[in-house]
Amino acid sequence: MDEPKKPPAMIEVHDLFVEMGRVSILSGVNAKIRQGEITALIGPNGAGKTTLLLAILGMIPYRGRIDIRSGNGRPHIGYVPQHLEFDRGMPVTVMDFLCLPRQRPPVWLWHGRKMREKAQANLEWVEASHLAGRRLGNLSGGEIQRVLLAHALIDDPAIILLDEPASAVDRSGEELFMNLIKRLRRERNLTLLMVSHDISMVTRLASQVICLNRVVLSEGKTADVLTEQTLSTCFGSDKGLLLHDHQWEGDTELSCAYDPDHPDRPDHPEGK
């Protein structure tokens, strides 16, 4: 049977080098992020995952080339940071926060009607419409991540970059967030690139995986990349990957691959 045709690359990274002072963070990275797919970017701490996201966003200087495909002009890229570090005492409501980047009149005058409607629609999309009037500083980790997702969607981007989106989220919040990511891909046909340490999240969400450690060690379909050999090459003895009980709801074989002795393996003598 013929393999289904691969979707075209939405982002192509060619020979990318990033240096911070004299330290080389990325040295010769080549990668493709395919249109309409969820691509997970995995690698040990200090591998340059966030740096790659920032280079794609054009926020740091680099050598090499990053091509972003677009029908008419460069598509807007939405960005969801790992944590929103901010002064929690600031009296900023969720509606303020969503209107700030694109509203022309200053928010000290009013929230523009179109902007307010757009913000409200995005909040409904991330199942957070009830949060519109709440102060940003009073939200839980899961609520903030959903608001950040609504914020990233404000310009109807073609691409969303997520930097460990569920690292500060509790289990139920993580489940909700993962469903939202799946919906984004399915209903809006967005291209998503997600940094994650959480292998269960990667196996459940991503169709493509890029394994990075200053250079790309492996790239391809999730099943092809998440093998014991690739992961041990990438991580060595690094224990930065997370395993959750619920990962076994997904692809059992894949989620076992990186830790054959984990007691949660269905085939482990002391496992389920």
Partner 1 sequence: MDALYHLMDHALPFAWAGDLFMKRALLAVVLVAPVCAAMGVMVVNFRMAFFSDAISHSAFTGVALGVLLGINPLYTLIAFGIVVGLAIISVRRLSSLSVDTVIGVFFSFAVALGIVIISARKGLTRDLQSYLYGDVLTVGDGEILAMGLLFLAAIVFLSLWFNALILIGINERLAKAQGIRVKALEYGYALLLALVVTLSIRVIGLLLVTAMLVVPAAAGRNLAGSVRGMFWASVGIGLASGVIGLIGSYYWDSATGATIILVACGFFILSQAVSVVRR
Among 14, 24, 63, 101, binds partner 1 (CB under 8 A): 101
Q: Give me the sign of the Cα torsion angle 262, 263, 269, 272.
A: negative
Report the DSSP pairing between strands 191-195 and 38-42. parallel
Stretch that binds partner 1, among 2-10, 41-49, 83-91, 205-213 (CB under 8 A): 83-91
State how far Cα 223 lies from the chain centre. 19
Kindly state whether residue 141 participates in binding partner 1, applying the rule CB under 8 A.
no
Going 18 to 23 to 25 to 28, the CA torsion angle's sign is positive
Contact string (CB under 8 A) for partner 1, positions 213-252, x = contact:
----------------------------------------
Residue whose CB is less far from partner 1, 97 or 258: 97
- C-beta of 136 vs 225, nearer to partner 1: 136
CB of 56 to partner 1, least distance (A): 10
Nearer to partner 1, 159 or 225 (CB): 159
Q: How far apart are CA 109 and CA 117, in angstroms?
A: 17
- In whole angstroms, what is the distance from residue 152 CA to residue 215 CA? 28
DSSP β-ladder status, 9-20 and 63-68: antiparallel
- Can you list the pairs that 244-249 forms with residues at least 24 positions away whose Cβ atoms lie under 8 Å? 244/171, 244/198, 244/200, 246/171, 246/175, 246/200, 247/199, 247/200, 247/203, 247/204, 248/272, 249/204
Q: State the DSSP code for 93.
A: B
Applying CB under 8 A, which part among 11-19, 100-108, 181-189, 205-213 lies near partner 1?
100-108
* CA dihedral for 30, 50, 201, 9, sign (positive or negative): negative
Q: How far is the CB of 161 from partner 1 (least distance, A)?
A: 8
Q: Taking CB under 8 A as the rule, does residue 197 contact partner 1?
A: no
23 part of the interface to partner 1, by CB under 8 A: no
Beta-bridge partner residues of 9: 34
Give the one residue of 15, 65, 90, 228 binding partner 1; rule: CB under 8 A: 90
Does the protein bind partner 1 through residue 136 (CB under 8 A)?
Answer: yes
Of residues 99, 192, 241, 243, which one binds partner 1 by CB under 8 A?
99
DSSP string over 259-272: -TT-TTSTTSTT--
**Which residue number, 57 or 242, has a Cβ lying nearer to partner 1?**
57
The stretch near partner 1 (CB under 8 A) out of 10-18, 26-34, 104-112, 260-268 is 104-112
* Binding stretches for partner 1 (CB under 8 A): 57, 59, 77, 79, 81, 84-87, 89-93, 95-97, 99-103, 105-110, 135-136, 151
